Amino acid sequence: MNHDAMSFFQNISARLSTVRNCTKKPHCRREEEAQPQQPIALPKQSSTPPPLISSVAPPTQSVVNEKAASTPVVLPSRVQPTVSARWSGPEAEVPESAARPRRNRTPCPPVKHRGEKSEEELRQVSSIIMTQAQEPASKSVRTGAAASLVEAYRCVNSIRDTGEPPGERTDDVTNINGSGDNDDGGNTKQARAKLYENAVSEQVRRIQKMPKNTSPVNAKNHASLLPRQLPRFRDKITLILDLDETLVHSSLTSQSRHHDLVLDVRMENTSTTVYVAFRPFMREFLQAVAPLFEVIIFTASVSVYCNQLMDAIDTDNILGSLRLYREHCSILNGAYVKDLSLLGRDLDRVAIIDNSPVAYLFQQRNAIPIPSWFDDPGDNELQQLIPMLEILAAESEVYTVLDQYNAVLHLQQEQARQNSPHY
């Protein structure tokens, strides 16, 4: 065989070998795929728990569902079992390695001691259970006539009975011309009383021009929030009482503040300890208004907290069992509004005592404002409201008293504001 023939057969042999190798690889791959897959070794789980993150979705409906409103803060499911998800649970055990943040990971929060919670966590849980007004950084002391809300109505009665506002000195009165002579003191006194009475009358007229009801809801197309009025209350005015910062102040921390009651509020699988302080003269106030009015507790807090608190306060059930909660409020720009037109009562015979002006936004002429209370042991606002409420209970409708009361209150607050050094 010559050289050319041998070269030809060698090339043919090399090509056949190449073809056999190419057909063998897919066969081997199919054999490998037919074998069961081996488990993949998982990377060792880090003992460092991620930071606790919780959020409360803003309400989007006009009437809040009770179950949705009372949903506790849900913590991430990735939290290690050693970290307690209950506010009253044991101390969080964080291993030493947790103090060293891993690369490309969010550092974990510092180790917390037993019972210690961040302010953000406390605010979130507090907003779920109750409603609280913002406590001012510096307490302002109300002075003069504006120091007591009931002084407003006393002023009106004093003008009507004696012709002068209370507290006016009849001696050493400066006359209208500014001289110190007291020869014309009687005329000066009468002139000042007349000016004051005219100012009150003008403010009353302004209030009377305000609509009694600005609710966007037509009560005729809405079911009443309250049952039919019992026969024993038919001749009585309905008095709505707020709870937080009006009758009590509740907190999730005892700190050094005095508290009268400790509640264990349970919602689903979460238990929260709530420390409650009673506003001074609260019991005296409730005992005074109970026989005079049909009393309704209306709070923007959840029912499980309100019922437990009121059952402890009103052990003799002198106020009855009519209570309304957060789910009975209307939502306006994320704020809870207590729509009095939906109670099933005549608005002419309904009054509300609340520390939040937003609460009675739809029926401002039915309101009896009261300052928020946090911890002042010298507060006596509830006690001083009793005389005015006794007058109100005897009226056939609330606007005769409340328009006059709020007119004088507005004038006194305006005068106090002008006398303020920051004016």
pLDDT tens-digit series, residues 61-80: 333 334 334 433 333 333 33
243, 209, 202, 221: which is closest to 336 by C-alpha? 243
* Confidence tier at 11 by pLDDT (50, 70, 90): confident
pLDDT tens-digit series, residues 182-235: 556 667 888 888 888 899 999 999 999 999 999 999 999 999 999 999 999 999
Least confident range of 251-265, 301-315, 372-386: 251-265
84, 97, 100, 93: which is closest to 52 by C-alpha? 84
106-132 mean pLDDT: 58
pLDDT tens-digit series, residues 366-399: 999 999 999 999 999 999 999 999 999 999 999 9
Is residue 385 helix, strand or coil? helix
Q: Where are the alpha helices (DSSP H) in 278-340?
A: 282-289, 303-313
pLDDT tens-digit series, residues 23-33: 555 444 444 44
Which member of 4, 161, 242, 348 is catalytic? 242
322-350 mean pLDDT: 97
Q: What is the mean pLDDT of the chain?
A: 73
Report in angstroms the alpha-carbon separations of 273 from 120, 156, 209, 262, 397: 16, 45, 47, 7, 42
Question: How far is Cα 240 from Cα 225, in angstroms, rounded to an integer?
Answer: 13
* Confidence tier at 22 by pLDDT (50, 70, 90): low
* Predicted confidence (pLDDT) at residue 280 exceeds the cutoff of 50: yes
Least confident range of 246-260, 308-322, 348-362, 363-377: 246-260
Which member of 161, 172, 184, 244 is catalytic? 244
Q: What is the pLDDT of residue 138?
A: 47
DSSP bridge partners of 272? 265
- Provide the residue ranges of all domains of the chain, joining segments of one domain with +: 144-209+399-423, 227-379
Is residue 181 part of the annotated active site? The answer reads no
* Predicted confidence (pLDDT) at residue 405 exceeds the cutoff of 70: yes
Report in angstroms the alpha-carbon separations of 400 from 349, 350, 394, 423: 11, 12, 11, 32
Higher pLDDT, 15 or 309: 309
Number of DSSP helices (H) and strands (E) in the chain, helices first: 9, 10
Q: What is the pLDDT of residue 417?
A: 85
Q: Which two tokens stand for residue 242?
A: 């707020």
Q: What is the pLDDT of residue 415?
A: 84
Q: What is the pLDDT of residue 32?
A: 45
CB 368 within 8 A of CB 331: no
Question: For residues 386, 392, 393 and 399, what is the CA-based torsion angle, rounded to 10 degrees?
Answer: -150
* Predicted confidence (pLDDT) at residue 122 exceeds the cutoff of 60: no
Least confident range of 123-127, 175-179, 309-313: 175-179
Is residue 4 part of the annotated active site? The answer reads no
* Predicted confidence (pLDDT) at residue 414 exceeds the cutoff of 70: yes
364, 384, 328: which is closest to 149 by C-alpha? 384
Q: Percentage of residues in the chain with pLDDT exceeding 90?
A: 46
* Confidence tier at 151 by pLDDT (50, 70, 90): low
* Predicted confidence (pLDDT) at residue 305 exceeds the cutoff of 50: yes
* Predicted confidence (pLDDT) at residue 273 exceeds the cutoff of 80: yes
* Predicted confidence (pLDDT) at residue 149 exceeds the cutoff of 70: no
43-67 mean pLDDT: 38
Question: Which architecture does CATH list for 227-379?
Answer: 3-Layer(aba) Sandwich (3.40)
pTM over 0.85, yes/no: no
* Confidence tier at 3 by pLDDT (50, 70, 90): low
